[in-house]
C-alpha cells in the first residue's frame, strides 16, 4: 500500500514538473535578432518582454534573421537607444540615433537614449 502511494506521488510530481517546465518556456523574456526591411537595416536589436513563439515569428518577419529568445531583460551594453512601444521595448545596438528616432515614431513609440 505504501509503495503504491509513493509511486503515485512520484508520478504526480513528475507530471507537475513537466508542466512547470513548459510554462517557463512560455514566460516573457527577451529576443535578440537582426532587424531589416525594405526601408532600413540591418540593425542589431533586442525586444522585451516577449515569449519564445513571438521571438520566432519576429525572426521570420520581413528580412529579419538570427532571432534568439532568452530569459530576463535585454542587455544594455553598447546601447544606442530604446523605442518604447508601450507593450514592448525595442533596444537598438547600432545605427544613427536620429534616424532610429524617426523610425520609432513610425512605430508609435517614444525614443530615448541611454
Locate the domains of the chain by residue range: 28-112
Check residue 25 and give its pLDDT: 57
Q: Which residues of 4-35 are buried (b: 16+ CB within 10 A; e: fewer)?
A: eeeeeeeeeeeeeeeeeeeeeeeebbbbbbbb
| Confidence (pLDDT) at 6 | 30
**pLDDT by residue, tens only, the chain of 114 residues:** 433 433 343 333 333 333 333 345 578 999 999 999 888 889 999 999 999 999 999 999 999 999 999 999 999 999 999 999 999 999 999 999 999 999 999 999 999 999
Instruction: Provide the grid cell at 67.
Output: 532571432
pLDDT of residue 74: 98
* Calpha distance 99→35 (Å, rounded): 14
CA torsion angle 7 10 15 18 (round to 10): -140
Residue at grid coordinates 529579419: 64
Amino acid at each position: 500500500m505504501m509503495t503504491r502511494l509513493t509511486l503515485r506521488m512520484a508520478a504526480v510530481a513528475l507530471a507537475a514538473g513537466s508542466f512547470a517546465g513548459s510554462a517557463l518556456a512560455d514566460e516573457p523574456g527577451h529576443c535578440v535578432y537582426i532587424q531589416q526591411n525594405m526601408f532600413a537595416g540591418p540593425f542589431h536589436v533586442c525586444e522585451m518582454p516577449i515569449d519564445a513563439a513571438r521571438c520566432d515569428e519576429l525572426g521570420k518577419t520581413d528580412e529579419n534573421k538570427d532571432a534568439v529568445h532568452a530569459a530576463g531583460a535585454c542587455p544594455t551594453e553598447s546601447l544606442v537607444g530604446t523605442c518604447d512601444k508601450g507593450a514592448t521595448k525595442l533596444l537598438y545596438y547600432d545605427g544613427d540615433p536620429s534616424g532610429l528616432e524617426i523610425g520609432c515614431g513610425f512605430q508609435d513609440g517614444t525614443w530615448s537614449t541611454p
